[in-house]
Structure 1
Amino acid sequence: MQRLVLLSVLLCASCHISLSLTNGTASNGTVADGLLENGNFENAPNATNMKGTVVVGRYSIPGWVNEGFVEYIKSGQKQGDMLLVVPEGAYAVRLGNEASIKQKIKVIKGMYYSITFSAARTCAQEERLNVTVAPDSGVLPIQTVYSSSGWDNYAWAFKAIYEVAELIIHNPGVEEDPACGPLIDAVAIKALYPPRPTNKNSVKNGGFEEGPYVFPNTPWGVLIPPNIEDDHSPLPAWIVESLKAVKYIDSAHYFVPQGRRAVELVAGKESAIAQIVRTIVGKMYRLSFAVGDANNSCVGSLVVEAFAGKDTLKVPYESKGKGGFKRAELKFKAVSNRTRIMFLSTFYTMRSDDFSSLCGPVLDDVKLLSIQTSPNP
């Protein structure tokens, strides 16, 4: 009987441990894909740790450590004539001059991860955010607003060097009014799995299915920063080789030519995406891809320029802004055992229903295959 009681206690304990590990964590105890602990800041500080909107005490926001002038903002709060809107739930935080929020995350050493978070600037003109998981760090400019809501989702990637990663989001700006800092909300994480080429496609992640976490209830996609801001791409195998971001979109909120994910080239020639692929010198190849619009009122003459080594192709697409696509292909002869393929949008385009929001052509289903050529008679 004592053995049965002891066995029951052990089983109950193991069940409790298993449940606690699967509540926001993977089965091995590491963080699971999705919001971080209190990632949307809905779990509020105690009233005793608040002085108006200002958070008092480093450990006052559950799940986070805050440094400097940090405010806890409620949706609908006013700042002068400006109404502050929160994209996820009812609350967000605002980072004043040199302020930061931190959280430690249990990860798998050696693996790549992407952080997705929502950010909006307030009254400062050139706001930036420094995102760090040591030794990786990047400064993301957030002065360009890509959505009509005023909020944008940003992705940033890192390689886990240790089993516990400390994520730091820091406002490096110095304004006369510290309350002019950026708003932060909805911080999530996603493990990235490096894709590989196949015998049916030399391009890795050609359908863009592997990428950063996409929030299910924020319908404005995720911005992938240029590689000068991020040493590891949140879009595995691809490099954003431009000054501006590209937008990662999902089929739940946009028209996507194939699968569940695609890329929107939202900033003209400043929004380019590239990959270096293996080729055999002298062989002929066919680079095929889909060009369309995201069903987001991006109306007009869109053009995607494709590059493969020294060969180029311009693909026009007349968009009605209601979704749709066409396929194109570029044939070329490889002159090197490494060929750089790249895509960019020729023009800047604004949404027809919102002249403050950039948009552009959608790129998807990128494939590269060698062409069998007949021997000379």
Structure 2
Amino acid sequence: MRGSVLAVVAVLLCATCRLGCAFIDGLVPNGNFELGPKPSDMKGTVVIGKYAIPKWEISGFVEYIKSGQKQGDMLLVVPEGAFAVRLGNEASIKQRLRVQKGMYYSITFSAARTCAQEEKLNISVAPDSGVLPMQTLYSSNGWDSYAWAFQAELDVAEIVIHNPGVEEDPACGPLIDSIAIRALYPPKATNKNLLKNGGFEEGPYIFQNTSWGVLIPPNIEDDHSPLPGWMVESLKAVKYIDSAHFSVPGGYRAIELVAGKESAIAQVARTIPGKTYTLFFAVGDASNSCEGSMIVEAFAGRDTIKVPYESKGKGGFKRAVLRFKAVSTRTRIMFYSTFYTMRSDDFSSLCGPVVDDVVLLSVRNPRLM
């Protein structure tokens, strides 16, 4: 249903847009870098020329990397297709993309750390920008996908991914591949759910041919969150997962809390002081070999509940309920995992419990319940 709506919107935008169609969903032009520079625009692996990579503008020390290429004893792996780019010291890639003014968008891209230890990336669409830390590797294959969101203030967005690092070796920067964008349609609270996007169905683009989900970085506020309605109030990321690659309690999307108490999501709901409310939610595992005893802690203002879940790593979930009395006009709803958990099949990938189907309702007559 949502796909057909997007298709209709895309047609209407194309019909009304003189300079091209506003982007809706999918890889940006040459977003996987499979179209490469001409041999005359290369010096070894280094790209020479501002516009040498089709559809992109580059600056600084940018390398064009082929899958399986070696750097010393390290094998460079490309997550999708055969090619990626590597951003050296103060290097950046940039692309201008037609968007719809006022619309919210989420950018998803894959990145891998190479030889630098404190790598981070600055991603921006003026006037918005954010720094994404890459110190923590969440998957064992060397790659993670990240999401970042912005609101379009013009009908053309200039997307810039920049490596602000300064290393002794200028090539010690992150590999970048598979850059996509998705228009977001922020849901609203209703009388059926006082929380926005409680089922996590609205969120960043997930690559169809990848099986590691998308990380929503730490310290993401709800004004420009790639997960509309929700904030990431923690030092580590949370993982956005889909039913095509993981076990999801309801619908097509859910959140995996992959870094214990350092991986938390929150939302502030409008409440009436003195009134009783009930918070419903599901806790499970993603069927990704994340085994063991898990506990999800849920908070609603001053009230809390700990929900244990014994995972066999093969999917499944249980329902939980937290009833509370509001003490203010705004109540913070928050979830995090008590423990750190590692996948049993590789012992190097962080994982954790899944949270989904979060519903907040007011109780009309608490005495009858």
The TM-score by the shorter chain falls in which range?
Answer: over 0.9
Residue 264 of structure 2, aligned match among 272, 279, 282: 272
Does the CA-based 8 Å contact 2:222-2:228 persist in structure 1? no
Residue 139 of structure 2, aligned match among 144, 147, 151: 147
Judge which range, 310-319 or 365-374, deviates more: 365-374
> How much has 1:26 moved relative to structure 2?
5.2
Residue 200 of structure 1, aligned match among 192, 199, 205: 192
Residue 111 of structure 2, aligned match among 110, 113, 119: 119
Does the CA-based 8 Å contact 2:267-2:333 persist in structure 1? yes
CA offset digits 1:65-86 (Å, max 9, x no partner): 0001000000011111111111
Write the distance in 1 (CA, Å) between the matches of 2:245 and 2:309.
21
Structure 1 52/230 Cα, relative in aligned 2: closer, same or farther at 3 Å?
farther
Residue 255 of structure 1, aligned match among 247, 256, 279: 247
> How much has 1:31 moved relative to structure 2?
1.4
CA offset digits 1:313-357 (Å, max 9, x no partner): 000000000100000000001111211100000011111111111
For 2:188, the aligned partner's letter is R
In structure 2, the partner of 1:9 is none
CA offset digits 1:131-172 (Å, max 9, x no partner): 011111111011211011110000000111111110000000
TM-score (norm 1): 0.91
> Which residues of structure 2 form unaligned runs of 5+?
1-9
Q: What does residue range 71-220 of structure 1 map to in structure 2 within 5 Å?
A: 71-220=63-212
In structure 2, the partner of 1:30 is 22
Query: Alignment length, in residue pairs?
Result: 355
State percent identity of aligned pairs.
76
What secondary structure is seen at the aligned counterpart in 1 of 2:171? helix
Write the distance in 2 (CA, Å) between the matches of 1:366 and 1:26.
36
Structure 1 230/223 Cα, relative in aligned 2: closer, same or farther at 3 Å?
farther
Write the distance in 2 (CA, Å) between the matches of 1:220 and 1:236.
21
In structure 1, the partner of 2:333 is 341
Residue 215 of structure 2, aligned match among 220, 223, 226: 223
Residue 323 of structure 1, aligned match among 298, 311, 315: 315
Does the CA-based 8 Å contact 1:244-1:271 persist in structure 2? yes
In structure 1, the partner of 2:62 is 70
Write the distance in 1 (CA, Å) between the matches of 2:189 and 2:220.
25
Judge which range, 172-181 or 208-217, deviates more: 172-181
What secondary structure is seen at the aligned counterpart in 2 of 1:291? strand
For 2:299, the aligned partner's letter is F
In structure 2, the partner of 1:357 is 349
Where does structure 1 differ by over 4 angstroms across 4 or more consecutive aligned residues?
25-28, 228-231
Write the distance in 2 (CA, Å) between the matches of 1:325 and 1:201.
21
Does the CA-based 8 Å contact 1:157-1:230 persist in structure 2? no
Judge which range, 322-331 or 275-284, deviates more: 275-284
Does the CA-based 8 Å contact 1:287-1:329 persist in structure 2? yes
Write the distance in 2 (CA, Å) between the matches of 1:358 and 1:307.
23
CA offset digits 1:163-190 (Å, max 9, x no partner): 1110000000011111111000000000
CA offset digits 1:284-338 (Å, max 9, x no partner): 1110100000001111111000000100000000000010000000000111121
CA RMSD of aligned residues (A): 1.7
What secondary structure is seen at the aligned counterpart in 2 of 1:72? strand
CA offset digits 1:78-131 (Å, max 9, x no partner): 111111111111100000000000000111111111000000000111100000
In structure 2, the partner of 1:58 is 50
For 1:302, the aligned partner's letter is M
TM-score (norm 2): 0.93
> Which residues of structure 1 form unaligned runs of 5+?
1-21
In structure 1, the partner of 2:41 is 49
Please say if 1:239 is aligned against 2:231. yes
Structure 1 138/282 Cα, relative in aligned 2: closer, same or farther at 3 Å?
same
> How much has 1:230 moved relative to structure 2?
8.8
> How much has 1:375 moved relative to structure 2?
6.9
Does the CA-based 8 Å contact 2:281-2:319 persist in structure 1? yes
